[in-house]
Amino acid sequence: MRRDTHRAVRQVRQILDILQGKIVVGHALHNDFEVLRENMEKYNIWDTSTDRTLRSIGNLEGYRRVSLKVLCERILKKNIQTSRHGHSSVEDANATIELFKVFEKINKMSGRGTL
């Protein structure tokens, strides 16, 4: 194997080690885990694209997956991904964390606790 390949494999292992025992929060995480070539079922994940609580709050119950942009418009009352130059990973990550906080607040209020 080339040196670059060894380094990439090492970096993927480091990422996966960091994720162990953590709640992995994101949007459409199946894409991220596919790139890492890892089975996401081994991890404690919370995915905004498939969360039923968020779909309910956003009045989106009829949808199996919902875009981050639509969730933010409906729940956070804010527009994201408006740049003509594409998505900002930082903006998407911040929006996902905000949605997670909404989820946690609702679960806490309903007595379900947090993840």
Alpha helices in the chain (DSSP H): 3-19, 29-36, 52-57, 68-71, 89-109
- What pLDDT is attached to residue 1? 55
Q: Using one digit for the tens of pLDDT, what is the confidence trace for 15-34?
A: 999 999 999 999 999 999 99
Residue 49 pLDDT greater than 90, yes or no: yes
Give the separation between CA 90 and CA 70, rounded to whole angstroms. Answer: 17
User: Is the pLDDT higher at 41 or at 1?
Assistant: 41
What number is the average pLDDT over the span 53-76?
92
Place of tokens 């199946």: 30
- What pLDDT is attached to residue 63? 86
> By C-alpha distance, which of 81, 84, 99 is closest to 25?
99
Percent with pLDDT over 90 in the chain? 74
